[in-house]
């Protein structure tokens, strides 16, 4: 047990209490951020005259040598320290002696941990943005390639109207664009520096908080010291954004699983991204998509957990807040893994174009267009709806699509039909006629793809 406190205690901490209280097993994850924050802190302390330049340099050299040694494996972070802050400070004192004891001047672990957590999550926001961008690039490529690949569009998981693969994937593209912009918003809102808030009420030293903030690439210092040490809104916002990303990935995964099923055969997942069965030799399972869908619950759990932890905490810092870390780290790592794996699966997946088109044809997805044909020939829509309903019944009976019904049969149910009905309900016409922006028609999709081209080039 190596602790930063103990002066007012007359007894050793019970070992179980020590273990229960300690956070080093997980907060060692932000050793880099902790050292970076300390370097900024002492740089500022020297500039306001609290430390001499020589003391500052000695401390910074010591901190950098700790960083190098952790990275090279020369020094190991062990559970003999309560948390990463204690580890770094104790190690510094071992290395440079008494001057190391000045590192914590004008600082509390409360503002220190608030800073470390913010620096860590801020770095992760940037990494997650990059991963979302890579995924969007993959989806954009699929959209460009499949602008004329027809498939059924669904409502209630029933075939509804024909769309294209580009249009279907384009829906997810819009979701991930919003996810990306949510991450930007979070970055902007969280990017204020809590260091200098002290334990809760600032410090008596003439700290230059603007300088510390700028050394650490924040927009500026936070404006209330009690809020600074007890704000975890940015963790909640991030976990909420991550939950939304997972919800999108999970919906998409669910579709891939359906599309990959023996019944649909719309897609074929690459062997490198599939798994087999230990007993059934014929099996090729979509485990990646299933795991992404499954891990979504874990990320939602993290969000629910932190919301619950925070709801009853009076100002300012309370130890409950230490609970923000493990679940946030786990959620971040989970989401990063899921985006990468999902992206790899999408990149290598092949689309069965003929099967998608046949499926669209055989699901009466052109029935609305047949009704519209009648409307264009003067039949009121409600009557047209009824007439096409009868045609559909006939086709179900004959097990054929509307496209294969003879003109004679059409005319038997309504004399309004002429030879041009076939053209009017062809898959191509059905999609092509839907050309307002946002619709699946070729020209409308070209416009959206051009907008997305510019969007991606600008990220």
Residue (5 or 381) nearer to ligand ARG, CB:
5
Choose one: 108-116, 288-296, 369-377, 412-420; the region binding ligand ARG (CB under 6 A).
108-116
How many residues can be counted in the chain?
459
Q: Which residues contact 46 (CB under 8 A, 6 or more apart)?
A: 52, 53, 55, 56
Site residues (CB under 6 A) for ligand ARG, limited to 233-292: none
Spatial separation of the C-alpha atoms in residues 454 and 459, rounded to whole Å: 9
The answer to whether 216 touches 40, Cβ cutoff 8 Å, is: yes
Per the annotation, the verdict on 277 as an active-site residue is: yes
Residue (272 or 312) nearer to ligand ARG, CB:
312
Cβ 24 to ligand ARG shortest distance, Å: 8
By CB under 6 A, residue 322 contacts ligand ARG? yes
Take residue 426 and report the two structure tokens written for it.
């062809």
Choose one: 176-184, 318-326, 380-388, 438-446; the region binding ligand ARG (CB under 6 A).
318-326
Whose CA is closest to 388, among 373, 398, 400, 377?
A: 373
**Torsions phi, psi for 160 (to 5 deg):** -115, -70
Take residue 154 and report the two structure tokens written for it.
């669904």
By CB under 6 A, residue 179 contacts ligand ARG? no
Q: Which of 43, 58, 91, 110 binds ligand ARG (CB under 6 A)?
A: 110
By CB under 6 A, residue 318 contacts ligand ARG? no
Number of residues binding to ligand ARG, judged by CB under 6 A: 10
Whose CA is closest to 208, among 27, 316, 47?
A: 47
Cβ 68 to ligand ARG shortest distance, Å: 24
Cβ 202 to ligand ARG shortest distance, Å: 16
Could you write out the DSSP letters of every residue in 155-202? ETTEEEEEEEHHHHHHHHHHHHHHHHHHHHHHHHHH-EE-TT-TTTT-
List 79, 261, 277, 340, catalytic entry: 277
By CB under 6 A, residue 83 contacts ligand ARG? yes
Spatial separation of the C-alpha atoms in residues 332 and 330, rounded to whole Å: 5
Residue (313 or 394) nearer to ligand ARG, CB:
313
Cβ 306 to ligand ARG shortest distance, Å: 13
Q: Which residues of 19-40 are buried (b: 16+ CB within 10 A; e: fewer)?
A: eeebbbebbbbbbbbbbbbbbb
Cβ 188 to ligand ARG shortest distance, Å: 25
Cis peptide before 14 (omega within 30 of 0): no
Per the annotation, the verdict on 250 as an active-site residue is: no
Q: Which of 96, 215, 256, 321 binds ligand ARG (CB under 6 A)?
A: 321
Cβ 166 to ligand ARG shortest distance, Å: 47
CA distances, 176 to each of 42, 196, 291, 442 (Å): 41, 37, 19, 22
Spatial separation of the C-alpha atoms in residues 188 and 234, rounded to whole Å: 10
List 156, 225, 243, 305, catalytic entry: 156
Q: Which of 102, 109, 122, 232 binds ligand ARG (CB under 6 A)?
A: 109
> Annotated catalytic sites, by residue?
156, 277
The binding site for ligand ARG (CB under 6 A) comprises 23, 27, 83, 109-110, 113, 317, 319, 321-322
């Amino acid at each position: 047990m190596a602790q930063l406190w103990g002066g007012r205690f007359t007894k050793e901490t019970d070992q179980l209490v020590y273990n229960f209280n300690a956070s080093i097993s997980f907060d060692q994850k932000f050793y880099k951020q902790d050292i970076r924050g300390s370097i900024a802190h002492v740089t500022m302390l020297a500039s306001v005259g609290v430390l001499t330049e020589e003391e500052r340099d000695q401390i910074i050299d010591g901190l950098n040598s700790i960083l190098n040694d952790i990275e090279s494996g020369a020094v190991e972070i062990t559970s003999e320290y309560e948390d990463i802050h204690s580890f770094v400070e104790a190690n510094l004192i071992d290395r440079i002696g008494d001057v190391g004891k000045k590192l914590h001047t004008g600082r509390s672990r409360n503002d220190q941990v608030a800073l470390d957590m913010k620096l860590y999550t801020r770095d992760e926001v940037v990494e997650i943005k990059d991963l979302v961008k890579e995924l969007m690039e993959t989806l954009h490529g699929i959209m460009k390639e499949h602008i004329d690949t027809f498939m059924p569009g669904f409502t209630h998981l029933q075939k509804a109207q024909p769309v294209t693969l580009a249009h279907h994937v384009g829906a997810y593209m819009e979701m991930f664009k919003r996810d990306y912009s949510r991450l930007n918003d979070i970055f902007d809102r969280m990017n204020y520096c809590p260091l200098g808030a002290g334990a809760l009420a600032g410090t008596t030293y003439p700290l230059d908080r603007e300088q510390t903030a700028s050394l650490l690439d924040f927009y500026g210092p936070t404006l209330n010291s009690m809020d600074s040490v007890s704000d975890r809104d940015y963790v909640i916002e991030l976990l909420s954004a991550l939950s939304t990303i997972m919800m999108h990935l999970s919906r998409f995964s669910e579709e891939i699983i359906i599309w990959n099923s023996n019944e649909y055969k719309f897609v074929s997942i690459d062997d490198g991204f599939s798994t087999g069965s230990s007993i059934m030799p014929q099996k090729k399972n979509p485990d990646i998509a299933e795991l992404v869908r499954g891990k979504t619950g874990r990320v939602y759990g993290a969000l629910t957990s932190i919301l619950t932890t925070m709801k009853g905490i009076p100002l300012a810092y309370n130890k409950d807040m230490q609970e923000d870390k493990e679940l946030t780290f786990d959620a971040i790592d989970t989401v990063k893994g899921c985006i990468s794996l999902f992206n790899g699966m999408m990149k290598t997946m092949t689309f069965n174009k003929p099967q998608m088109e046949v499926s669209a044809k055989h699901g009466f997805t052109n029935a609305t267009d047949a009704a519209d044909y009648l409307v264009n020939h003067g039949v009121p829509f409600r009557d047209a709806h009824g007439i096409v309903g009868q045609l559909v019944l006939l086709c179900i009976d004959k097990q054929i699509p509307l496209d294969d019904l003879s003109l004679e049969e059409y005319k038997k149910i309504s004399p309004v039909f002429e030879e041009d009905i076939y053209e009017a309900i062809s898959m191509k016409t059905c999609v092509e006629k839907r050309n307002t922006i946002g619709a699946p028609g070729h020209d409308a999709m070209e416009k959206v793809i051009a907008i997305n081209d510019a969007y991606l080039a600008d990220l």
